[in-house]
Structure 1
């Protein structure tokens, strides 16, 4: 029998390898690993789904919002950490904002202008202004000071662009009153939307704010955007409001916080944290003692 040409033998060998590896790695291996996962770690393998009243209400490992249809916090629930994943906590769009500590200057929206899609110009908030706005809103919700260093009282970044003869509070759109009237003898003006201040010297102003009452995890998104936990400090800040809204003793609410606090991973990594979904479900089942 005549042997096949070498080039044809090589192609047939490659084809057999593709078929075998496809069956092994694309079919057999996934089925085996899926079967083992389902048998040994059924809950985790299926998304750590949390149920209440026989219905799926979320996942223990993915955060979610506790807001009304307009996006306002529902006062009787503990609020989650902010999310930058899609429209919030979207597991198909997990991500951070990719904004760093030097992102402190806003792009002010220009009245009457439209973006490329024909929508009204929304401008762009810097990371600093996002933090300031969240801190102000949370302070108002919890009845504490939302002040932070480098934030104005109206909740934007306290940043100046300084020129030889004047300074501009670039994150405060006119006709807002600048957070400071003067800077090193220069008059401070409000920011004019559409104006180019790139040539000015950028000066963030720390102000005299003390240690913030609002914790850092309440005003910054996690790297994944899916964090289901908040810090104990943020949970404790919310406890009086939740207790008041539900007519429960604050001590009872704090006891539930303790029951739903996880320790450090392996005993030494990370910080203790509170699972927001599980805590809110426990509150829904709580009764006044």
Structure 2
């Protein structure tokens, strides 16, 4: 007996639904799970977890309840992902290289890292107080926009114009914004990755230079020799990707766990 056209169409749709459910809803996911269990891939599939301490692929902070760096641990690079290293809010700050807010962040972080590590935290276009050295220049005067009154501006004059402190709530958008390089060294003691977030905000690595900068502090806090701590840094330094891409980097979580085991 020939089925009505409408019923035949519904049965065909039902058969397609069952077939696709079996293939795409069961067979394919099970195949992917099986592939993920292949030796060498299982760790990445599980998130590269290191015990209950975190993932080797996602950075984390090593601070106390007030957000102060724990001196016995190596510090990660800053994060712009949510409240910090949030995989559900991975992102960069989206601030351009000439953005005053970004410059202030960099200057403030550089000063703080310098104080923590006992080195000169100054860098170009930053004031000694850890603010962006930016002037709002007018025909007859200039304003240090990141130094609010009654602060004393980092320079007294600019090209013959007296420099004033900024007034709270004042609009300086009509002025010519001019960054001032200052006398900071061309190569600051504080590396760039210590003061800037990665593109994802989740980077678990720091540069070898930033790790070596932290060695004396960590060694002193743990009562270890700098040579021993530096040896652990070298042991947890990953080489260039495929041997030529990027730069060697240190996995902070793995390094800190190795310190705890020492």
> What's the CA shift string for 1:192-246, capped at 9, x where partnerless?
1211111101111111110200000000001111111100000000001111111
> Which aligned segments of 4 or more residues in structure 1 are displaced greater than 4 angstroms?
7-16
Q: 2:237 aligns with which of 254, 258, 261?
A: 261
Q: Give the 3 Å change call, closer, same or farther, for CA 17–128 of structure 1 in structure 2.
A: farther
Question: Corresponding residue for 1:47?
Answer: 47
Question: Corresponding residue for 1:201?
Answer: 176
> What's the CA shift string for 1:72-126, capped at 9, x where partnerless?
000011000111111111111111111111212xxxxxxxxxxxxxxxxxxxxx0
Question: Corresponding residue for 2:218?
Answer: 242
In structure 1, what is the Cα distance between the partners aligned to 2:17 and 2:153?
Answer: 68
In structure 1, what is the Cα distance between the partners aligned to 2:166 and 2:3?
Answer: 83
- Cα offset for 1:42? 2.3
* Gaps in structure 2 of 5+ consecutive residues: none
Question: Corresponding residue for 2:87?
Answer: 91
Say which SS state the counterpart of residue 135 (structure 2) adopts. Answer: strand
RMSD: 1.7
Q: 2:63 aligns with which of 62, 67, 70?
A: 67
The normalised TM-score by structure 2 is: 0.93
Q: 1:79 aligns with which of 61, 75, 79?
A: 75
Question: Corresponding residue for 1:103?
Answer: 99
Say which SS state the counterpart of residue 187 (structure 1) adopts. Answer: strand
Q: 1:131 aligns with which of 106, 122, 126?
A: 106
> What's the CA shift string for 1:265-288, capped at 9, x where partnerless?
1111111001111111111122xx
> What's the CA shift string for 1:101-158, capped at 9, x where partnerless?
1212xxxxxxxxxxxxxxxxxxxxx011000000000000000000000111111111
Question: Corresponding residue for 2:37?
Answer: 38
* Gaps in structure 1 of 5+ consecutive residues: 105-125
> What's the CA shift string for 1:53-87, capped at 9, x where partnerless?
xxx11111111110000000000110001111111
The normalised TM-score by structure 1 is: 0.85
Q: 2:208 aligns with which of 232, 244, 263?
A: 232
In structure 2, what is the Cα distance between the partners aligned to 1:44 and 1:253?
Answer: 28
- Cα offset for 1:30? 1.6
